Amino acid sequence: MNTLRIGLVSISDRASSGVYQDKGIPALEDWLKKALTTPYEIQTRLIPDEQSIIEQTLCELVDEMSCHLVLTTGGTGPSRRDVTPDATLAVADREMPGFGEQMRQISLQFVPTAILSRQVGVIRKQALILNLPGQPKSIQETLEGVKDAEGNAIVPGIFASVPYCIQLLEGPYIETDCRVVAAFRPKSAIRDITV
């Protein structure tokens, strides 16, 4: 069976130079552990805000490590050093604008400065690459969505669409713990894998 391969990239000048500890990759690892019920393998990279290094890292994870999903964290704001979206678009085969739109929609529920985010979602070869925020709390909100007191999604998180997108890219069939985030796919795309 085709094992799901995920690349996690934390982009930070200070964390990559050891000024402070990276919080992005541990937050993503913890969230994936809770959310995914499908077996998966992870590749992690901690790199500075340098466009050429980001591009090189994304290409390596997709082209050489054969990742199906690459999640980046950090470097998506308007400052001059924030070049993650620029690097992501530079290596993309196709843009998936709905992901960036939905990430901003979720974040706008919490902060008006969400409109300053330049996060993008793209496809490169067999992989979906998504730029996530840098803060662990924002990472979780973006992936899971905005929930009411009972835990029902009011604004859907972006990860609800990720399993079907990867399925359409001929990647592995991904299942999630619906208490964290329910994977959505059309009835015709649902497989009974208990058989």
| Overall number of domains in the chain | 1
pLDDT at 157: 94
pLDDT at 195: 44
In a domain, 142, yes or no: yes
What DSSP state is assigned to residue 170? T
In a domain, 164, yes or no: yes
In a domain, 128, yes or no: yes
CB 65 within 8 A of CB 41: no
pLDDT at 151: 81
CB 119 within 8 A of CB 85: yes
C-alpha span between 74 and 133 (Å, rounded): 5
Instruction: Tell me whether strands 94-95 and 121-124 are parallel, antiparallel or unpaired.
Output: antiparallel
In a domain, 194, yes or no: no
- The CATH number assigned to the domain holding 184 equals 3.40.980.10
C-alpha span between 103 and 11 (Å, rounded): 18
In a domain, 195, yes or no: no
In a domain, 8, yes or no: yes
**Domain range for 32:** 4-189
pLDDT in tens, the chain (195 residues): 589 999 999 999 999 898 889 999 999 999 999 999 999 999 999 999 999 999 999 999 999 999 999 999 999 999 999 999 999 999 999 999 999 999 999 999 999 999 999 999 999 999 999 999 999 999 999 999 998 888 888 889 999 999 999 999 999 999 999 999 999 998 888 887 654
